[in-house]
Structure 1
């Protein structure tokens, strides 16, 4: 029993645990005020020549048809498109959207039904004990939606830090999302639809720290286990001795 208890505690000491905390700060001050974004989305009913990425924010950025570090893969014999892009956004409220705004000739009724494979921010962070919303929109399926509708995804981006046992930090971002689907009109008629990702940053940072129990706590607990084992053994031995003496007296009484 003692060996089993010692083994279980030793296993628990060797294993690491993840402690999380919340604080208000920008954890990645060396990023230059930028966040890396990875987007992968399929539009099975929109030709690649029409698909583009536009980026806007409150610092005045307005980029139509972003093409750096992006790729468009034809789907459905050229009738559809899979857009994959890596780009950066500023750490201010803004949006990026997949649309036909950069196309040479605007289609009359672009079909914006889609499937989001990935939308992630910052470094890729996959740690077994950390469950988070790092790719909350991964798998979002809007293939059966109204083909003339725009889609708004409202994102609240939460800075996230992971610190391992060596003290090395990795910076990523989780996010929550709400979405709506609508057909928009203006005084000139129906507005060309798009897939909007409108984002804002949370002032709260989530930090995950990997740690192991201090060695002094391990020694203290081992001493407590050993001391407790000897104490219990002493009590049991005393009880057995007392019972044995009582039994001897009973036997002597019967003989006399």
Structure 2
């Protein structure tokens, strides 16, 4: 099964700071806005922190999502953040939910927290590999992620102060199939309950049984 042209996404992150200096962007890998994403995003104050939720659709191409500090702008074709005047540099956060596709699959990123102790400007990059999972002609994605921290104050690089989720697609595809128990086996179980055909039931149970199987195939 090939990837659809567009993929639904949902992200829910709590950032341990105020909402006023935060924004959310969906970009391509070159950090330009040349990606046809449709999103609905909200920032809400919860218990002194900021909870950001966003959902929508993205094209099935590699890209990135930014929860950024400061105002965003474009300079020489590149996405930039204006953050020089920011006093609070803290980007400590908790990922409540993050998923792609139609299936609501659990992810190692769910409920993941990162606490930063010092007032240092970081670019926090989650490099996410999306493994397609097919079930009943619906597609979801298992997320495999690595985190890198770049100290922008120290190296003065071209990095941006943000929580970044850079995604790409795995060449593998995981297909989940469910084999239903045949009707004759269900009948044999019922007969076994009443003491009839006991050996018949055991023999059938040893030959045929329902199972969940996973198959890896190349896209």
| TM-score, scaled to structure 1 | 0.59
Q: Secondary structure at the match of 1:48?
A: coil
Q: Match for residue 153 of structure 1?
A: 126
* C-alpha displacement of 1:60: 8.2
- State the aligned residue count: 185
8 Å Cα contact 2:99/2:141 also seen in 1? yes
Q: Distance in 2 between matches of 1:111 and 1:121?
A: 27
Q: Does 1:108 align with 2:86?
A: yes
Q: Match for residue 4 of structure 1?
A: none
**CA 1:60–1:54: 2 relative to 1, 3 Å:** closer
* C-alpha displacement of 1:70: 1.2
Q: Match for residue 237 of structure 1?
A: none
* C-alpha displacement of 1:215: 4.5
Q: Distance in 1 between matches of 2:202 and 2:90?
A: 73
* C-alpha displacement of 1:74: 1.4
Greater per-residue strand proportion: 2
Q: Does 1:74 align with 2:45?
A: yes
Question: Which 5+ residue runs of structure 2 have no aligned equivalent?
Answer: 74-81, 192-196, 204-219
Higher relative contact order (CA 8 A, sep 6+): 1
Q: Distance in 1 between matches of 2:201 and 2:68?
A: 71
Q: Match for residue 252 of structure 1?
A: none
**CA 1:145–1:205: 2 relative to 1, 3 Å:** farther
8 Å Cα contact 1:134/1:173 also seen in 2? no
Q: Distance in 1 between matches of 2:186 and 2:202?
A: 15
8 Å Cα contact 2:131/2:142 also seen in 1? yes
Q: Which has the larger Rg?
A: 1
Question: Which 5+ residue runs of structure 1 have no aligned equivalent?
Answer: 1-24, 126-132, 164-168, 230-256
* C-alpha displacement of 1:61: 5.4
Q: Distance in 1 between matches of 2:182 and 2:117?
A: 55
Where in structure 2 are the equivalents of 1:1-256 lying within 5 Å? 25-26=1-2, 28-29=3-4, 33-45=5-17, 47-58=18-29, 62=33, 68-77=39-48, 80-102=49-71, 106=83, 107-109=85-87, 110-125=89-104, 134-148=106-120, 149-163=122-136, 169-184=137-152, 192-215=160-183, 225-226=199-200
What RMSD, in angstroms, separates the aligned Cα atoms of the two structures? 3.6
* C-alpha displacement of 1:203: 2.2
